[in-house]
Chains A and B, each alone.
Chain A
Amino acid sequence: MREARTLGDVADLVRSKNAGPFWVTFDIFFATDADYERVAAPGILERRSIADLYRVPPDDVRIFHLPSLRAIKISFPRPVTQGSFTDRDIHAGQQYIPLGQLPVQ
């Protein structure tokens, strides 16, 4: 088997959704403690890397670790308010794709 290289490969599920009209939130679930710990380790999902990926200010990014659920949650204010003229994804349900392609090695 090829060694997994992206967050989407390592995680069981990566998803995104609005958290109200002004925030977007991402949930990452892992199947095993080893997978969770690999990604939760320092240096992989940092505010800086998320900010670069989504072109948002790093200070706006909130990251939560939930080891008992083997989950990591990331939230930041929507760069574009839900339903405004340039909003491309009304429910923000497809915004997880760049996150899923983040390298984790």
Chain B
Amino acid sequence: MDFLVNSEKETENLGKQIGVQAKPGDIICLNGDLGCGKTYFTKGIALGLGIKDYITSPTFTIVNEYLGRLKLNHFDVYRVHDIEEIALLGFDEYIFSEAVTVIEWSNLILELLPKDTLEIDIKKEPQLGDNYRRIHINPSCGKYDYVTTLHTKL
């Protein structure tokens, strides 16, 4: 399913709806170019999980962990996307747990991803305007069916 949004708030709002409905063990793969809004989307997911902390980009830490209704593991593998290095971090223990895991730039570590993930691609739409984004949401299996309830109304 595709959504066209025109502001950071709308991006965050989509993430929030996912956060509210996310289940233990959900793995959310966030892909898109620099500055397209992946971390904003994740802020939304965190809000939906009732996390009060300030969400920052894990570009330097590789992974940040937060506690909410469920634990949230927030990965950004842009800087370090060597398969062995990510695996040695204990990647499997993060994703195969009761936490919700969000992985920015997951397209860089395809080999490590299991089959049942929620794929989210964010694209800029420069011909429409600087703030426009097309957000494509692709649930790989039944456990992510809750995405059919998503809407862009603020």
A, B in one complex: no
Chain B residues in the interface with A (C-beta under 8 A): none
Chain A residues in the interface with B (C-beta under 8 A): none
